[in-house]
Structure formats: C-alpha cells, structure tokens
C-alpha cells in the first residue's frame, strides 16, 4: 500500500487555504496546516477530522518570520517531515494604494511576496536534500487584479491607466 502524501498549506485558517485543506482532506492527504491563529486552525482541524477523518498536524508561524518558519519546519516530528506538496497560500490584503501606510505596505510585501519566496526556497532545498519529488504551488487571489497593495497591481499600472 502506498503511503499517503503530506501537504503543507500556509494560510490554512481561512479563505483559499481552508478550502484547499478541505479538498486535500476529502482526497485522503495528510495535512500540515499553517497559520498564525491557533483557535482558527484548531477549528479547521476539528472539522477535517470529523468530516473526513483527516490526519492533521498544526504548525504555527508567521510566514514573514524566516527564523520562526525555519524552526517550525525543523520541529516537525519525523513522521511529518516528508512534505510532498507545499501550497503557498498565506496572504494579506491592504486598503489600497492611496490609503496605504508604509507599515501596511511592508506587511503586505513581506507576507505576499517575501514569505512565498522564502518558503518556496526553504521547501525546495529540503525536497532536493531529501530526494522528494515534490510540488510547490503558489496561490494568489483575484484581489491582486484590483488596485490594492500588491506587486501585481503596481506592475499593472495602478497609477498609469
């Protein structure tokens, strides 16, 4: 019998990440759910266990904090270390360019861009070192298409068109 694949989903406490967790749970994957809010993650874990009998492990860290992300991944129990799929979904929305503060802009860039890059890099190295033929999926929402704080909207000419 083939061993079940392990999926790590960032931003799994709501929205697209929570939806991905449900879909993977329905299909029998083992799930590592990441987020910053333990109460929300526990609620998702409880639902997935009750509805699908899912095997779920919670991994709390903020994707903006490289040291915390690295330490959290290193802390995984041996039976959870062979991550086959990373769903890089963590993200935040801002109030839009005209209203954004520097602090808010930094939070969005550090979460939506730097966090995605760092986790992709970290998991890519891990998969290569452990000879795991894994996949990294980077998820973005349609909100990046409207004038909001995002690299997408800035490069699409928020001010120019």
Q: In Å, what is the CA distance from 52 to each residue of 42, 44, 68, 99?
A: 15, 12, 30, 43
Task: Give the best-scoring range by mean pLDDT among 14-23, 123-132, 139-148.
Answer: 14-23
Catalytic annotation on 159? yes
Beta-carbon contacts of 26 under 8 Å, excluding residues fewer than 6 positions away, are: 52
Residues 85-117 pLDDT 10s: 999 888 777 666 667 778 887 777 777 778 888
Q: H helices then E strands: how many in the chain? A: 6, 5
* Active-site residue (options: 29, 57, 152, 159): 159
Cα radius of gyration (the chain): 16
Q: Which helix (H) or strand (E) holds 56?
A: strand 56-60
**pLDDT tens-digit profile of 49-69?**
999 999 999 999 998 888 999
What is the helix (H) or strand (E) element at residue 20, kind and residue range? helix 15-26
Contact 48, 97 (CB under 8 A): no
pTM across the whole model: 0.80
Among the ranges given (39-48, 118-127, 132-141, 145-154), the one the predictor scored with the smallest mean pLDDT: 145-154
Q: State the Cα–Cα distance between residues 40 and 58, nearest whole angstrom.
A: 11
What SS3 class is residue 44? helix
| Sheet strands (E) in 14-55 | 30-35
Distance CA 113, CA 109 (A): 5
């Amino acid at each position: 019998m083939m061993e079940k694949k392990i999926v790590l989903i960032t931003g799994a406490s709501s929205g697209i990440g929570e939806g991905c967790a449900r879909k993977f749970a329905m299909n029998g994957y083992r799930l590592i759910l990441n987020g910053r809010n333990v109460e929300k993650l526990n609620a998702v874990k409880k639902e997935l266990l009750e509805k699908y009998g899912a095997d779920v492990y919670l991994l709390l860290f903020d994707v903006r904090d490289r040291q915390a992300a690295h330490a959290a991944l290193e802390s995984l129990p041996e039976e959870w270390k062979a991550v086959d799929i990373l769903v890089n979904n963590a993200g935040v929305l801002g109030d839009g360019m005209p209203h954004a503060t520097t602090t808010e802009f930094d939070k969005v860039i550090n979460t939506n861009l730097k966090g995605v890059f760092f986790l992709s890099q970290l998991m890519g190295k891990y998969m290569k070192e452990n000879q795991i033929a894994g996949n990294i999926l980077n998820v973005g929402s349609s909100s990046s298409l409207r004038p909001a704080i995002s690299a997408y909207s800035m490069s699409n000419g928020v001010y120019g068109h």
